[in-house]
């Protein structure tokens, strides 16, 4: 802590990202990265964009990227906002749609993406963490109350559990009475069978946020987009242009557009991830593990005998990184990203040996 820090910095508790090791080889199952490479067309687009034109600023409107996203989601281009990964878009959304105190609190689950309370603290936004039920689902009635807005991932993280589309529509209809926004963070929707897209007819207060990090194998590039009513998109643009009009560079825009145009390739790789997820889940249940029903590219599991921290260390000692959250209610679980079949076979072998 420094005397030069302002009060905001002094009180912030920053988000802690998953470990990115440099010192040894690990099987990385800790940050929900896609185990398969980007489509070849994406790599070609990166090379094609790396020209002398990098001396020029990128298109601040991300026109071609947004056009591709609009086509992929069957919406108008003015319903799409592009950003430097979904995290940036979420940060902008907190600033654009949620009010500071003494406004009513924003609602999100108590077990969810741990960046949400960080964003709220950064912008001075009151929030209330709503407990998930005993089966890790959202109770619809808990969100049909006056609030400053609602945000959650669907599927949820780190549980992987999906939220029914009809519940989200009910949240939005109730929130509209209070002129508040419902943000659906669909980082993992490509591995699920549920989505809020296409947006319900007449819904003007739903913002769907997506990333190209998971389904499109571009975690190292940073690109994401949001879909919503044009008025919501304009609000995000106003926040962006009060911060940095050039948040997405030329290479990222070219790669993102190319990725969205390769739907066939990515449908295949996502299907492979889902098939591996189901195979691994079935095997773990047979070994006695508790495995939540996942609709994402990860599973949330509990060892039948070891504590969450001990299981985490057992895997690490065997060269496998997973994510452990030292938080009440979930500290006995670990989150395991789905890797290639060979990666997951090694993981299963360690789990099998660890039962004894």
Q: What is the rounded average pLDDT of the residues 38-46? A: 98
Domains of the chain: 7-37+264-355 (3.90.1150.10), 52-262 (3.40.640.10)
* pLDDT reading at 241 higher than 90: yes
pLDDT in tens, 124-177: 999 999 999 999 999 999 999 999 999 999 999 999 999 999 999 999 999 999
* pLDDT reading at 121 higher than 80: yes
Alpha helices in 12-52 (DSSP H): 40-49
Cα 115 from Cα 14, distance rounded (Å): 8
pLDDT of residue 194: 94
Report the range of poorest mean pLDDT among 10-24, 97-111, 339-353. 10-24
The Cα-based distances of 48 to 42, 45, 54, 234, 258 in angstroms read 10, 5, 11, 31, 11
Reported as a pLDDT band with limits 50, 70 and 90, residue 356 is low
The proportion of the chain whose per-residue pLDDT surpasses 70, expressed as a percent, equals: 99
Cβ partners under 8 Å of residue 344, min gap 6: 276, 279, 280, 338
* pLDDT reading at 23 higher than 70: no
Q: What is the rounded average pLDDT of the residues 303-319? A: 96
pLDDT of residue 17: 75
């Amino acid at each position: 802590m420094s005397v030069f820090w302002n009060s905001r910095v002094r009180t912030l508790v920053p988000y802690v990202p998953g470990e990115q090791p440099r010192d040894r080889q690990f099987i990385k199952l800790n940050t929900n990265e896609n185990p398969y490479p980007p489509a070849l067309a994406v790599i070609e687009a990166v090379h094609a964009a790396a020209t002398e034109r990098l001396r020029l600023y990128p298109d601040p409107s991300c026109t071609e990227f947004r056009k591709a996203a609009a086509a992929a989601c069957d919406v108008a281009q003015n319903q799409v906002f592009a950003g430097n990964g979904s995290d940036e878009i979420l940060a902008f959304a907190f600033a654009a749609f949620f009010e500071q105190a003494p406004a009513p609190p924003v609602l999100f689950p108590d077990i969810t993406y741990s960046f949400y309370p960080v964003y709220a603290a950064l912008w001075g936004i009151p929030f209330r963490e709503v407990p998930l039920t005993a089966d890790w689902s959202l109770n619809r009635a808990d969100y049909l109350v006056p609030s400053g807005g609602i945000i959650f991932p669907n599927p949820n993280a780190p549980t992987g559990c999906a939220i029914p589309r009809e519940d989200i529509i009910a949240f939005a209809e109730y929130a509209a009475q209070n002129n508040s926004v419902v943000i659906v963070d669909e980082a993992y929707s490509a591995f699920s069978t549920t989505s809020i897209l296409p947006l319900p007819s007449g819904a003007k207060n739903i913002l769907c946020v997506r990333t190209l990090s998971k389904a499109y194998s571009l975690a190292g590039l940073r690109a994401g987009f949001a879909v919503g009513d044009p008025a919501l998109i304009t609000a995000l643009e106003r926040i962006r242009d009060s911060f940095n009009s050039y948040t997405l560079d030329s290479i990222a825009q070219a790669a993102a557009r190319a990725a969205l145009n390769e739907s066939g390739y990515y449908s295949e790789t996502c299907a492979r991830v889902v098939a591996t997820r189901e195979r691994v889940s079935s095997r773990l249940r047979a070994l006695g593990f508790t495995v939540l029903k996942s609709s994402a590219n990860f599973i949330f599991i509990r060892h039948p005998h070891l504590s969450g921290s001990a299981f985490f260390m057992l895997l690490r000692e065997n060269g496998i990184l997973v994510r452990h959250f030292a938080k009440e209610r979930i500290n006995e679980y670990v989150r395991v990203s789905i890797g290639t079949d060979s990666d997951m076979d090694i993981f299963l072998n360690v789990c099998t040996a660890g039962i004894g």
